[in-house]
Amino acid sequence: MRPVKFDPSPDPSADRAFLGLALAEARRAGEAAEVPVGAVVVRDGEVVATGRNRVRESGDPTAHAEVVAIRAAAARLGNYRLTGCDLYVTIEPCLMCAGAIVHARIRRLVYGAAEPKFGAVQSLIPLTTLGLPHRLAVASAETAPEAAAEAAREARDLLRSFFRARRRPTRPGDREGSSEGSSRSAGG
């Protein structure tokens, strides 16, 4: 069984709006010195929960934006099964987050930019190869109409700027290119 199908949006303007909210969460994460990733859970066109990376703030390596948003949505709805809910996230989820998305029974995932180092939806580990029983509709904003594709570029630019700033030498003699290089390895 193929659990993932790449799904064109039934409402591209809604996708862009919700990705915009996820981008706002990503910016908040970056302002808090977290890897700038944001997520929004939506049901029936209404925001149920939002999340941003909180790995450093919480000291919890699982506090990725997707997991934070899923936990908040489950608490608000009183059910760990988020059937009928869609998740909008700025960056392609990692394997841990993809697992949480599947376990929560998210109906549709829309992500901004691909994550070639840790992406577990199509980049590094295609979700379709895992043989999972839950069918998850997926849309990447990178391949969407222009408005949503702009959100993917914004998400990618946020990450690049964040890591570029972290790699800048802060003292004479510091070397550029510190070991902190990947969005997911640094808590994204």
Positions annotated as catalytic residues are 66
Query: Whole-angstrom Cα distance, residue 21 to residue 46?
Result: 12
The closest of 161, 159, 158, 165 to 182, measured between CA atoms, is 159
Query: Whole-angstrom Cα distance, residue 171 to residue 57?
Result: 25
Half-sphere CA count of 121, side-chain side, radius 13 A: 27
- Which amino acid does the sequence have at 31? E
The closest of 105, 114, 100 to 62, measured between CA atoms, is 100
Q: Rounded to 5, what percent of the chain is helix, strand, coil?
A: 40, 20, 40
